[in-house]
Structure 1
Amino acid sequence: MSTRIGVVTFPGSLDDRDARRAVEIAGGEAVALWHADTDLGGVDAVVLPGGFSYGDYLRCGAIARFAPIMTPVIEAARDGLPVLGICNGFQVLCESHLLPGALVRNDRRKFVCRDQPLRIENAGTAWTSAYSAGQEIVIPIKNGEGGFVADEATLDRIEAGGQVVVRYAGDNPNGSYRDIAGICNEAGNVVGLMPHPEHAVEELCGPTTDGLGFFASLLRQFVPATSP
């Protein structure tokens, strides 16, 4: 039986179809979830995709946080359901207080779109076990409000707790504090990152296939154990 990964579509989502395709390339079953749904339909994990949910009014992700679908997502995430937030999805996770910190306008005041070198810091989360700590990968970024910020005490806490999942390698594209590109919650089941792994899963359409590991990592958890 295949692993069912729900991908939420909000009004303004742009990368929901790309995320569903990435799930299927990795070997999972992509399940479309709608922002007005009130039930997750028994999925094994959830992806909150990139885009401009609700037009990014107020703050990025601030309205999406109150979408009906987010009530079961938040409850399930707190109970251990794996959740991945990509770009706008990362913003939604911060607005939902499933992850600490916030995402603000890029320090260069411009939308940044490019292939970005990254370094995996934590390979022990639900979404990064296919990588190794210290591994460098390249996947695209595309954001205007991608600067991760938090107070010093919060930054020190997530650093000490191993909650920094991915850092920008080389040039920091948006002024994120401590070059942080992605973080997780204390349990490691909820991960948010600004780069777009769903755009780096096949050679024809991406700079690399380095993003596939995020989806493959999740699927590994549902592979039945075999006897020696």
Structure 2
Amino acid sequence: MKVDILTLFPEMFEGVFNHSILKRATELGAFSYNLVNFREYTESKHNKVDDYPYGGGAGLVLSPQPIFDALEDVTKEKDKKPRVILMCPQGEPYTQQKAEELAKEEHLVFICGHYEGYDERIRQHLVTDEISIGDYVLTGGELGAMVVVDSVVRLLPSVLGNEDSAPNDSFSSGLLEHPHYTRPAEFRGMKVPDVLLSGNHAKIEEWRRQQSLRRTAERRKDLLEQYPLTDQDKAWLNQWRDDHNLS
């Protein structure tokens, strides 16, 4: 996967992209990135990339010219148009399902804004996706782009090393993930559940399923409303609610 990032602060990405899973993905050849400072494309003699909004109002708005020219430059030798993602608090709320969708693409371009917003022509004529990582406002789109790139790249083949890791993540299955334990079996009087030490893989999978359902019911009831529960799932949940006097 090739990723181009249009940003006024390319240096922000170096630390993130040169460590951990993203570094591994680069070394494997699964992921390559290009950081583009779109200020370098401005035709302004003062090197400006923003201006005051027509009609008045607070703040400055990113001008279309530098971003249009930067995007045309990074895509000029491409036969297939990339997905162009605008990081924006007005965008589609980001989900694991969106990450899985984007992980199937060969080329992604991220536009990271600053200031009050974007000239609307950028949104209307360049962008294929608008993404928000939450209902809050950051100083720029860089941190959001890092989040999206990390969540997408870890899904690429061979990047995690264990092909079962990503499908079992929280949200990938539609439920929150079950609890995890590792050695020692007892730590400061706190013991690992006996079933995980039993060696009975069928019982372990059953326990994990039950825990995943319970954790989702406790923390994200909204996910259960959309999830296709089996009769066995419903029975486990009803038993758990009865045991805890829950409605």
Fold-level match, TM-score > 0.5?
A: no
TM-score range, shorter chain: 0.3 to 0.5
Give the structure with higher Rg (CA): 2
Larger proportion of helix: 2
Instruction: Give the alignment's TM-score, normalised by structure 1.
Output: 0.33
